[in-house]
Structure 1
Amino acid sequence: MGSAPQNTNLHVVLLFLDGVGIGKNDGEINPFFCARLPALTRLCGGDLPHIPFKKISTEEADIIAVNATLGISGLPQSGTGQTAIFTGVNGAKKFGRHFGPFPPSVLRKDIAEKNIFHRLKGLGKSVVFANAFPQRFFDYTESGTRRLTVTTLSCQQSGVPLLTAKELQQNEGISADFIRTQWPELGHPGIHPITPKEAGYHLAAISATHDFTLFEYWLTDHAGHSKKMPFAVEVLERFDEFLSGFLESFDPESTLLVLVSDHGNIEDLTTKSHTRNMVPCILVGKDRRKIVNRIKNLTHITPAIVRLFQLP
């Protein structure tokens, strides 16, 4: 008896932004409304999402406001929120509260068995975590630490190799900041700066050779905690240039881009804390209409992507 037919002509890019919520249309506190973000603004039909945004469909994209609180009181955190995104398990409910930045040990079994890399590899799909890591990160993990993010833990437990300076130098990996400026002082003097747009081109090329590609941009959360508007604007404008490069060079006939965040933060610089705001989910490209109505909260991201690959 043969296996069920699968969607073989499909590439999915999951672009994860840490700490990005849908906030007020107020440039005094929300850097989205004083930054120059042409690529993102175009995707959103000329008007960036702001409270009380729910959902919109444009010529290029579907944008959904997604619940990040998961039915739990308190401020959403990265450990449990990212568990929800990358496994489909409501980590906050299972643990009893929001927790972060790393996942609590009680969720490690779910992360090992249900993470998106593991599930897609089980379908015979090629997967890659596109972030490249400096040698000092590998030294840190080899010390036996259990303080790993959901993404790196998922890779470790699913046999997905983390990319190194070698892959970055060959443009087969992406620097967490896009531009590579920190790499020489991290012990890699041979790595030279590039533009965010070039990094976007590289991500599109990486995704074309893998069924599933994940990239994580955490500077947005860092900027939110800083409460510094110029820094937050720079982080968002850098991302927009990266997004522009990706959109210019990816193939929307074969590739789906899924952009999502784990909790709010950068959209409200009046506080260093996370927020309970809804987070954006942006779908661009192939088969986006097949999953747009299936995504209401963070636990729906992984099941929706896995289901797409299972469709004939």
Structure 2
Amino acid sequence: MDGVGLGGADPAINPFISTNMPNLRSLLDGSHLSAAAPLPLVTPRATLLALDARLGVEGLPQSATGQAALLTGQNVAAIIGYHYGPKPNQEVATCLKNGNLFSTLTKAGLRAALLNAYPPRYFDGIESGHRLPGAIAMAAYRAGIHLMTADDLYQGNAISADLTGKGWQEHLGFKDAPQITPQKAGIRLKELSGRYQFSLFEYWLSDVAGHNQDMHQAHILLETFDQMLGGLIEAWEDDEG
């Protein structure tokens, strides 16, 4: 879930307090996802830690350097001397090229996947030079990971960014795109993850809602996310990892 931090306990400004998220709270032993939770929090199925996204570098944390830090295990903002985003510049791209989580796994002979489905115009934009991939997609691509396409979405091998596929129908013009419930998306994420030793799904709509400062939109997205989480929790088998 992109663009999310640990906010305070005021429901007027923190949608994680004012949104009904029973499945997330069940993972956190009844706590809200906020700075008011007893941190660090370790439960049978989840761990919640408080980290400073600045990583010792002055300025406002940004997506590219922050995601690259998670993907490489290195303080990328400190390496290049500043926070940068939203998409990687050449310096961040070099850090990702020199080694990242996806490439480490594939070099070890393990199967890894990025489960997001990308529409044709995403690939067209990158090929034309009018669009840059985000750090996560760039890391996967540089590791030789197949970026999922519309065909993968239709075949049930990938998940749409909004979880349900509704956005593909309403905003991308794919009127026959398969649409599923958030709960089914969670079940499908579990099923797809079983094909790989490591899989990742990037939920970036939360970041968009944060930038828009749209509380109503945030409530809808978080409710959808929690319903997906419910399907994932119900389908998950702890003895499988």
Give the letter for the 2:214 counterpart: K
Match of 1:208 in 2: 194
1:175 aligns with 2:157: no
Distance 1:41 1:23, change over 3 A: same
User: What stretches of structure 2 of length at least 5 have no aligned partner?
Assistant: none
The alignment's C-alpha RMSD in Å is: 1.4
Q: How do 1:46-125 and structure 2 match up within 5 A? A: 46-51=30-35, 53=37, 54-125=39-110
Tell me the equivalent position of 2:9: 25
**How far apart, in 2, do the equivalents of 1:156 and 1:200 lie?**
24
Asked if the contact 1:127/1:212 (under 8 Å) is kept, the reply is: yes
For 2:55 and 2:181, the matched residues in 1 are separated by 37
DSSP 3-state at the match of 1:114: coil
Kindly report which structure 2 residues correspond to 1:1-312, keeping only aligned pairs within 5 A, or say none.
17-51=1-35, 53=37, 54-145=39-130, 147-184=132-169, 185-255=171-241
3-state DSSP of counterpart to 1:25: coil
Taking structure 2 as the reference length, what is the TM-score of the superposition? 0.94
Percent of counterpart pairs with the same letter? 38
CA contact 1:165–1:188 (8 Å) conserved in 2: no
Deviation at 1:164, TM superposition (A): 0.9
The count of aligned residue pairs is: 239
Q: Quote the offset at 1:95 in angstroms.
A: 1.5
Whether contact under 8 Å (2:66, 2:77) holds in the other structure is yes
**Quick one: distance in 2 between partners of 1:107 and 1:125?**
25
C-alpha distance in 2, partners of 1:203/1:49? 22
Give the CA deviation at 1:115. Answer: 1.2
Higher strand share: 1
Distance 1:120 1:240 in 2: 29
Kept in 1, the 8 Å contact 2:25–2:33? The answer is no
Distance between the aligned counterparts of 1:40 and 1:134, measured in 2? 29
1:146 deviation in Å?
A: 6.3
Task: Describe the shift of the 1:60–1:49 C-alpha distance in structure 2 as closer, same or farther (beyond 3 A).
Answer: same
Q: CA deviation at 1:145?
A: 4.6
Q: Could you tell me how far apart the structure 2 residues matched to 1:80 and 1:193 are? A: 33
- CA offset digits 1:35-88 (Å, max 9, x no partner): 010110001111114325431122432222222111111111001000101111
TM value normalised by structure 1: 0.73
Q: 1:33 to 1:113 in 2, by over 3 A?
A: same
Decide whether the 8 Å contact of 2:16 with 2:33 is kept in 1: no
Q: Secondary structure at the match of 1:202?
A: helix
